[in-house]
Structure 1
Amino acid sequence: MTLKKRVLVFGGTGTAGRGVVRALLASDYAVTCVLRDRKSLDEMPTGVEEILGSVTDPNAGLNNALHDKKFDVVVSCLASRTGAPKDAWAIDHAAQFNALAIAKTADATQFILLSAICVQRPKLAFQHAKLAFEKELIASGLTYSIVRPTAFFKSLSGQIERVRNDKGFLVFGDGTLTACTPLSDDDLGRFIAQCITDETKHNQILPIGGPGPAITPNEQGEALARILKKPVKIKRIPVALLDVIYWVLRIGGLLSRKLAEKAELAQIGRYYATESMLVWNPETGKYDRDLTPSTGTETLFQHYEQLIKENRAQERGDHSVF
């Protein structure tokens, strides 16, 4: 009888992390999740072994909880909540480094990292923090897969309530500045689970998007109009306004730490308003749908239909722009 591969997951309570955990269970792996508090225990599906502890301070109890545990694979879905510099370097770099150290102590031979496609053109603190850890993982000697997904459904679903309430659909510029191939949590999870056994994904950096054509913000608004069967007013926000907000906050940040932090968040918002979540083609100097690999079957517009049918609001995180 072949023993199940033992997989340790960090960051398994976020929306993407939960998709990964579901896929690992469906693939019949023995899954253990590190949870930072007891409140998270209720979020885990049946079949998951749960360990309480903080990867930001493993000496506070996590190392003891794991001292006699052995794993074959570690999957990290850790990500900073805001992307602001202090948070980014604490989570996207330092906590990831702790997870890597735990992987080595637990005799794991493989480490799968959930990163982000936006690190290919780094301008923000969290992107530099992610890249710094990617380099450390590559140099670690473990078999690695660095998964860089495009935009998640939740990042593109925050305006459904606005549209339902006839408040219009907000876009930056003319609504065609950016495009992406959205990826569902479950399709991402299945892709990450495949990384365990698919040797073509070993020791690789793997940009990945969902199925179908690249979608612009305008097309998202048009899709909501079709699904809701009502006209949707597209409200356009000049990118220059974001620049003004950023500089006002940055100048104010010279006197106030709180305003300085808000300036960092404004800079993140501007990045997402102007940069596509696709593979960058250095030869053309443009983002390229044809160079962006795809996986899965679930589409953003199917997700919209489901949320609207069930009258649900999208669960969102701190990276939400709207």
Structure 2
Amino acid sequence: MGWSATLLVFSCGFATRGAPYRRAVTARARVVAIPALAGTSCTGERVVVVGASGYIGRAVVHNAARRGYDTTAVVRDLRAARLAQTDGVRVVQADVCDQSSLQRRGGPLEPGAADVVICCLASRRGTARDAEAVDYAATMNCVRAAVACGCRHFVLLSAICVRSAERQEPHALHFQDCKLRVEEQLRALAAAGVLSHSIVRPTAFFKSVCNQFERVAEGGRFTYFDLGGGRCIRSNPISERDLAAALVDTIAEPARRNSVWQIGGPNRPLSKIEQGALMAAAAGRPPPATVGVPIGVLHAVVGALELLARLTRAAPVEDAAEIARILRYYATEDMVAVGEGEVYGSDSLVDFYRTVAAEGREYDPYVAIFDSREAVESFGGGASGCSDAGRGSPTSERRARAVDELARGADVAAAAAGSAQN
């Protein structure tokens, strides 16, 4: 579909810095009575990261292992085995769409094998079928496997946009409803005393707000959806490194137990136009010329596709209509978390843009995490979905990771308009 192709074009990576891996502790340890320090504490649990080959999952594996947690990364491809041997991370092949694969003998969640699960699964596109298969069914497989394993805590990477489904807003999306249903199941398990949880709902990712960087750096126009009077959406995005640290923090923080944590980065909320100006400044250019596309254009596209989907009942058309609704959602909804306890981390958006400007379009965030492209390739166990379609080359896997971010609050609508303008 054209919409999907548009999403693929505007992916961009960013830098992640940090201490190198150290070998994880192997002895099982319980929580010790020391204050939890954000971004650094380790209380000794055995941690299983599901979705470990995805954009955020990789960073979570890195953060947990660096702190000293006994860390297991769940992937679909054991090409990661060499990294596990050298960096103290146990990498296990499992199919999240098959609960028995997680619980089998030698599997990541066989009985007694783990204490905490951090789930970073996300559907590739956010369409109804993808969302049901991954955002709900596969994630619930992980929840049930965690219970059967005897885990004490489950950390769910959700999204701030799930609040739309929670409020039953008319423009809520299918994948948001799927994530909300998982959250409700976790609350029921906590109420029954079976499994505690932490639900983390981030705003946008740094990667999702740099989709027009190359064009702006070359002196091109910055395109955004005009909500009326030149108004556009705002966000305070968070870096993958900071988000990963927050997810791991929840293990040792009692205040995050059985709660929802909306989280954004340290920058004040910035409009799309302000983000475009920061891109230009990072590239050593004056603020770019801006093109505001009336939001009515996107409303018309959504309406036409919804009508066509009702008339044809064809799966590809239904998927296109849902993707268009997703694009409209992120073109019209602020992704802001600035309440008490909601601002986290130290990575600034302007520093991220400067790094992208210095490194160029081939800059790969995974190289920054693992120090070499060979380590990246050895760790790349495929995307976190239930389909192998589109895999097989580094380019196809990078594209798959770009689409994965749509269901995590990816801010791609303006990029879609920009693509149409070019």
TM, length-normalised to structure 1:
0.90
CA RMSD of aligned residues (A): 2.2
Match for residue 148 of structure 2 among 73, 81, 105: 105
TM-superposition CA deviations, 1:220-271 (whole Å, max 9, x none)? 0111121222241212111101011112222232324322211110000000
Write the distance in 2 (CA, Å) between the matches of 1:86 and 1:42.
34
Indicate the SS of the match to 1:295. coil
- Closer, same or farther in 2 for the Cα pair 1:131/1:172, shift >3 Å? same
2:99 corresponding residue in structure 1: 58
1:138 corresponding residue in structure 2: 187
Contact 1:53 1:62 in 2 (8 A): no
Write the distance in 2 (CA, Å) between the matches of 1:225 and 1:311.
14
Contact 1:118 1:127 in 2 (8 A): yes
Structure 1 residue 7 corresponds to structure 2 residue 47: yes
1:217 corresponding residue in structure 2: 272
* Cα drift, residue 2 of structure 1: 6.9
How is 1:23-172 mapped onto 2 (pairs within 5 angstroms)? 23-39=63-79, 46-59=87-100, 63-66=104-107, 67=110, 70-122=113-165, 123-140=172-189, 141-172=194-225
* Matched AA of 2:217: R
2:242 corresponding residue in structure 1: 187
Contact 2:45 2:70 in 1 (8 A): yes
Write the distance in 1 (CA, Å) between the matches of 2:234 and 2:306.
28
1:235 corresponding residue in structure 2: 291
TM-superposition CA deviations, 1:176-213 (whole Å, max 9, x none)? 43211110111111111111111111111110111021
Write the distance in 1 (CA, Å) between the matches of 2:153 and 2:299.
43
Write the distance in 2 (CA, Å) between the matches of 1:98 and 1:266.
29
Contact 1:55 1:99 in 2 (8 A): yes
Write the distance in 1 (CA, Å) between the matches of 2:80 and 2:61.
14
Structure 1 residue 278 corresponds to structure 2 residue 336: yes
* Cα drift, residue 25 of structure 1: 1.1
Write the distance in 2 (CA, Å) between the matches of 1:35 and 1:86.
22
* Matched AA of 1:76: C
Indicate the SS of the match to 1:221. helix
Gaps of 5+ in 2: 1-26, 30-43, 166-171, 364-397, 416-422
Structure 1 residue 317 corresponds to structure 2 residue 317: no
Write the distance in 1 (CA, Å) between the matches of 2:115 and 2:28.
14
Write the distance in 2 (CA, Å) between the matches of 1:236 and 1:291.
33
- Closer, same or farther in 2 for the Cα pair 1:228/1:160, shift >3 Å? same
* Matched AA of 1:242: L
Indicate the SS of the match to 1:121. helix
TM-superposition CA deviations, 1:40-69 (whole Å, max 9, x none)? 657878221011111112335763442355
Deviation larger for 51-60 or 62-71? 62-71
Indicate the SS of the match to 2:402. coil
* Matched AA of 2:125: T
Write the distance in 2 (CA, Å) between the matches of 1:292 and 1:173.
31
| Higher RCO, 1 vs 2 (CA within 8 Å, ≥6 residues apart) | 2
Contact 1:54 1:62 in 2 (8 A): no
TM, length-normalised to structure 2:
0.70
Indicate the SS of the match to 1:139. helix
Deviation larger for 55-64 or 213-222? 55-64
1:282 corresponding residue in structure 2: none
1:283 corresponding residue in structure 2: none
1:300 corresponding residue in structure 2: 349
Contact 1:114 1:146 in 2 (8 A): yes
Deviation larger for 227-236 or 132-141? 227-236
Deviation larger for 75-84 or 51-60? 51-60
The percent of aligned pairs where both chains have the same amino acid is: 34
Write the distance in 1 (CA, Å) between the matches of 2:249 and 2:340.
21
Write the distance in 2 (CA, Å) between the matches of 1:201 and 1:292.
11
Contact 1:11 1:77 in 2 (8 A): yes
Write the distance in 1 (CA, Å) between the matches of 2:222 and 2:103.
45
Indicate the SS of the match to 2:73. strand
Q: Which runs of 4+ in 1 moved over 4 A?
A: 39-45, 313-316
Write the distance in 2 (CA, Å) between the matches of 1:69 and 1:34.
16
Structure 1 residue 248 corresponds to structure 2 residue 304: yes
Contact 1:88 1:125 in 2 (8 A): yes
* Matched AA of 1:110: H
Deviation larger for 58-67 or 223-232? 58-67
Contact 2:74 2:92 in 1 (8 A): yes
Gaps of 5+ in 1: 280-288
Write the distance in 2 (CA, Å) between the matches of 1:296 and 1:53.
32
- Closer, same or farther in 2 for the Cα pair 1:202/1:60, shift >3 Å? closer
Write the distance in 1 (CA, Å) between the matches of 2:65 and 2:151.
18
Write the distance in 2 (CA, Å) between the matches of 1:272 and 1:292.
24
